[in-house]
Structure 1
Amino acid sequence: MSLLTIKDLSLGYENMTVVDGLNFTVEAGDYLCIVGENGSGKSTLMKTILQLQKPLKGEVLVGDGLLSKEIGYLPQQTVIQKDFPASVKEIVISGCQGQMGLRPFYSKKEKEIARKNMDRMGITEFKDRCYRELSGGQQQRVLLARALCATRKVLLLDEPVAGLDPKVTLEMYEVIKKLNDSGITIIMISHDIGAAVKYASKILHIGKEIFFGSKEEYLESDEGRFFLSQKDGENK
């Protein structure tokens, strides 16, 4: 059974449609990259999957025992968020809040989940440091650990390497690939088409034309060839 099924989805604001007729499925273990031009509706799609925004029409179906609150999410950071005055461990464990119900305090189990995910992301050594004192790459690892506290199945990542230098970007891609190899389904928005076709198993291209399929099919498609040629031109 699919983890997510998107059926005839239309997205937009105040009845202004941004993308129409979106259909695709996400299976357990997929690494799906969502690509397309700015303003094509990629971030809006993620918010709709997370039930933070309602679609204009269509539906998002969740299957295989997955609950919406069990989807881990790493959004794009704002300047204000990068200056957040909390400790690393406080931010990481806050990812468990969806599991707490009405309890005012974290349980031993939730504290252990946070500890394991800090270890997993290699950030345990600065768990007591203030988040805003960290480098951009370290902050992203903290937020990824936080997202992992909310899920064991699916991570939604919105431009997770934005603003990072090339070395840290490569390290972050490798971390995400290892998470996927461990069984976590990845859905990632990316402007880095080179990384998308390197790491992803499937591509969703949103634009004037919509494409969904394997990365091999994307590379052979009209949409893929055109988009890749545009990005190559920008990089020259």
Structure 2
Amino acid sequence: MSLLACRNASFAYDGRKVLEDVSFEVAVGGYLCIVGENGAGKSTLMQGLLGLVKPVGGSVEVGAEARAGGIGYLPQQTAVQKDFPASVEEVVLSGQLRRCGLRPFFGRGDRREAEAKLRLVRMQDFRKKCFRDLSGGQQRRVLLARALCATRSLLLLDEPAAGLDPRMQDEMYQILNELNREQGMTIVMITHDVQSALRCARQILHLNGRQLFFGSVEEYSQSAAGRRFIDGGPFRVLSGAAAKEGGAKLC
């Protein structure tokens, strides 16, 4: 069942098309990575998926489950966000504002939900810490917990591991893998880390002002677009056993 889909969608700014004829589907429980050079239209597409930019052609379709459960969004982090003077718990609770309705406060159930999401991202012991005192990787995980509080089924992520050191990147990708495989969370992620995308995702969407490729990871690794984009040459996706023997880190 499709949770999110584009049907020949095109987007424009000031009358100039910046992305055209994008078509793909993400099923419930899917994991799609969107790749491409800077300026390829990845962020424009993400804004379209969020409903912030309307397509000038084609359509963006959000399934009933995502509409009912909300969409969790983790944007690229800004300097203002990094210095936010609030506790970790307060930041995560703010992800539930949409569901609070007219209630002027967060209840006990809201706080239990926030604590549960912090456990999923391994930050439960930092609940009372000030957000701005955390490391960059810890802040990113707290913001991921906030996004989880806003959704029951669909996460949209814009470069969630950008700027993190290798260990923190590995931890972030492992957490995302657990959310997808163990919690059933559908993930759509923009990334420049193509090799991690190939290890973690199930589908790849490659953009360059238009759609160059959409399909499985295995198909992408053998496609002309994939071979050109990944380290400038061919890249072979290893099976689990072969990857472990070769020392590749799996998500």
* 1:133-144 matched pairs, under 5 angstroms: 133-144=133-144
Tell me the distance in 2 between the aligned counterparts of 1:147 and 1:39.
Answer: 25
Tell me the distance in 1 between the aligned counterparts of 2:167 and 2:222.
Answer: 30
SS of 1:186's partner is strand
Matched residue, 2:147: 147
* 1:159-178 matched pairs, under 5 angstroms: 159-178=159-178
Matched residue, 2:5: 5
Tell me the distance in 2 between the aligned counterparts of 1:80 and 1:41.
Answer: 25
Change in 2 beyond 3 A, CA 1:231/1:78: farther
SS of 2:54's partner is coil
Matched residue, 2:204: 203
Matched residue, 2:107: 107
SS of 1:205's partner is strand
Tell me the distance in 2 between the aligned counterparts of 1:226 and 1:69.
Answer: 38
**Mapped contact 1:72–1:149 kept (Cα < 8 A):** yes
Q: Is 1:52 matched with 2:18?
A: no
Give the TM-score taking structure 2 as reference length.
0.88
SS of 1:59's partner is strand
Give the TM-score taking structure 1 as reference length.
0.93
Change in 2 beyond 3 A, CA 1:57/1:107: farther
Pairwise CA distance, 1:69: 6.7
> What is the aligned-residue identity percentage?
51
Structure 2, unpaired ranges of 5+: 235-251
Matched residue, 1:194: 195
SS of 2:66's partner is coil
2:214 to 212, 215, 232: 212
Greater mean deviation of Cα atoms: 47-56 or 25-34: 47-56
Tell me the distance in 1 between the aligned counterparts of 2:233 and 2:96.
Answer: 39
Tell me the distance in 2 between the aligned counterparts of 1:147 and 1:101.
Answer: 18
- What amino acid is the match of 2:180? N
Matched residue, 1:227: 229
User: Pairwise CA RMSD of aligned residues?
Assistant: 1.6
- What amino acid is the match of 2:205? L
Tell me the distance in 2 between the aligned counterparts of 1:58 and 1:102.
Answer: 36
- What amino acid is the match of 1:153? S
* Partner deviation per Cα, 1:25-74 (whole Å, 9 max, x = no partner): 01011110000010111111111111122222222111243217711110
Tell me the distance in 2 between the aligned counterparts of 1:74 and 1:123.
Answer: 17
Change in 2 beyond 3 A, CA 1:219/1:39: same
